[in-house]
Chain A
Amino acid sequence: MDDPVITATALRKRNGATRALDGFDLAVPRGAVLALLGPNGAGKTTAVEILATLRRADSGRACVAGFDVAREPDRVRERIGLAGQYAAVDELLTGRANLVMFGRLNGLGAAAARRRADELLERFALTEAAGRRVDGYSGGMRRRLDLAASLTRDPQVLFLDEPTTGLDPRSRNGVWESVRDLVGAGTTVLLTTQYLEEADRLADRIAVLDSGAVIAEGTADELKSRIGGDQIDVVAAGAGDLGAIAAVAARISGASPQVRTDERRVSVAVSVSARIGVLGGILRELDAAGLEVEDIGVRRPTLDDVFLGLTGRAGADAPAGAERHETEEVSA
């Protein structure tokens, strides 16, 4: 990591009696998308607030885009954008008036701010609603306007604090698309999320946050392999065959299988390099033995598994829908 654009070293911050950040370290390379993943109360928002100069850390040091957030906050503010779960726009103004205002405050002249506002409205499909007051916008429109407002001056670093919390799946996809476009343009993004799926979809690196400190950091694949690689799942057609299937799976993979009788499922862990050979071997053996299976496949662990493996607790209060979706997609 030769050129980190965000660095945080031993940040500590108390919120009253609780330690919101307790030795928070992070380094994000230029152009990367890093997801700060953790449950409610893990300190994600506090971390973003400190990095975005909204609050000061009690101790520790942080630099963003080459400037110390505590010593030169204005230099940092010229280079960052912030969008978040609270959709920080002015409710009483129109969408357009909001973007013009934020452009002016970001140092654009009056004409340039108007031009930029129109560009952004177009890009975020808000042109039609541009003349309406924001308090009449839907949640998704508000969030898109919020994202647009954070881009009035092409930020080098964009902070997204739970950008899709509370959005319906369609609006969520819209925000994800916008973020991916930005990333294509080379902006460094730090996003916080409690949706495991969101981190997996958007980020090329994930830092898992628990009780105010980063407890693991890496690519999604690195984190997944850290808790034991892939596994092969075999679902038996009949409950009576479970024992025989488990024996086959054990012989071929050389690992001890887990059997879940209620799901008629046999699972064995495999290394990534051996998984195809093992899968083929199990299939041939089952076929030869005349054992019928309903389903068989290689399953990559989900980030939910990662969080459980790292903290011993189930990850996040993410809605069941989001997690189910992820499982389906990874096993497909």
Chain B
Amino acid sequence: MTATFDPPAPRAPVAAPDRPGRLSRAVVHGWVMTRRNLLHAVRSPAEPLLTLFIPLMMVLVFGFVFGEGMAHPGTGGADGFRAFLMPGIFVMAMLYSVSATATGVSMDSSRAVIGRFRSMPMAASALLTGRAAADMLRALLETAVLVGCGLLIGWRWEGTAVEAVQAIGLLLLFRFAMTWVGIYLGLVTSDPDVVGLIVYPLAFPLGVVSTTFTPPELMPGVLGAVAEWNPVSSVVNAMRELFGNPGVGGDSWVAAHPVLMAVLWPLAILAVCVPPALARFRNLSR
């Protein structure tokens, strides 16, 4: 190359980029992305409000429209059924949140802005940790609204405050596992319009073939067994036990250890979903 160049204008010295440790960078960037996701929710509130609308509708439909008809010996009348129902509604709300998480992740990975994130010295984990953290904060808010709604319709926790906090803790652990299911689904499904829709046919049977509405012994053989071992049932049963609400009883081992299972199931789900989600994320657009 023989061409000559004008000497470049003297460059103002640029401070050497700070190189904070990996962990502090991951934390700061995770927080920046959490704020971004929360701002999204605040600036387009339709989606979070709709997500909350579904469990509230279920309280009305199952608690009042079907309430008297769905009561069973374990619950007594409609009031008892509503106390029986509320823990199930909490868990349903967390289950359907998979859709919001998956849609958010899928939209992020199809947006052009991901290109800029990748061209920056950003902790790659921040996209996922920011999503998970923002979803957990949303889950706290949703839980508070649902607790308020439950108190309005006559649901109470009958046990100690510590047990009630433990019940909420199990609920949030389940939500955390669902967040990672959503992250994985969002990463493997490239079309954000589709991913929100595929969650419902997956979540609906999981929500219904469980102890949420009906004791398993009232279901036909196989369905009853599925309902007993359903992770949703374990979380619902554990919350009923800790809240002191009417439960479904049952003699099986899984029915007798709901709290243990409500810890083990989410951990198992996390063990299955997190590694492939991370691998998928690292391989995005390679």
Contacts and interface: CB of A to CB of B under 8 A. Distances in A.
B8 interface: yes
Nearest to B126: A105
Contacts of B44: 92
Contact of B120 (A31, A105, A133, A184): A105
B121 A31 contact: no
B265 to A, nearest CB: 34
Contacts of A74: 121
A88 B108 CA distance: 11
B119 A222 contact: no
Interface in A153-205: 153-154, 156, 159, 184-186, 204-205
A29 interface: yes
B18 interface: yes
B10 A186 contact: yes
A95 interface: no
Contacts of A30: 8
A92 B11 contact: no
B116 A82 contact: yes
Contact of A88 (B7, B28, B113): B113
Interface residues of A, number: 51
A303 interface: no
B152 to A, nearest CB: 33
Given A92-B39, A205-B3, A77 B9 contact: no
B276 interface: no
Contacts of B11: 31, 185-186
Interface of A: 1, 27, 29-32, 49, 52-56, 74, 77-82, 84, 86-93, 97, 101-102, 104-107, 133, 149-150, 153-154, 156, 159, 184-186, 204-205, 217-219, 222
Given A105-B117, A154-B14, A205-B3, 17 more contacts: A1-B1, A31-B5, A31-B11, A53-B119, A55-B285, A81-B119, A84-B112, A88-B111, A88-B112, A88-B115, A102-B116, A104-B28, A105-B120, A106-B17, A186-B10, A186-B11, A219-B3
22 contacts: A30-B8, A31-B9, A32-B5, A49-B115, A53-B119, A54-B115, A54-B119, A77-B119, A77-B122, A79-B17, A82-B115, A82-B116, A91-B111, A93-B40, A97-B39, A104-B32, A105-B120, A107-B20, A149-B116, A153-B14, A186-B8, A186-B10
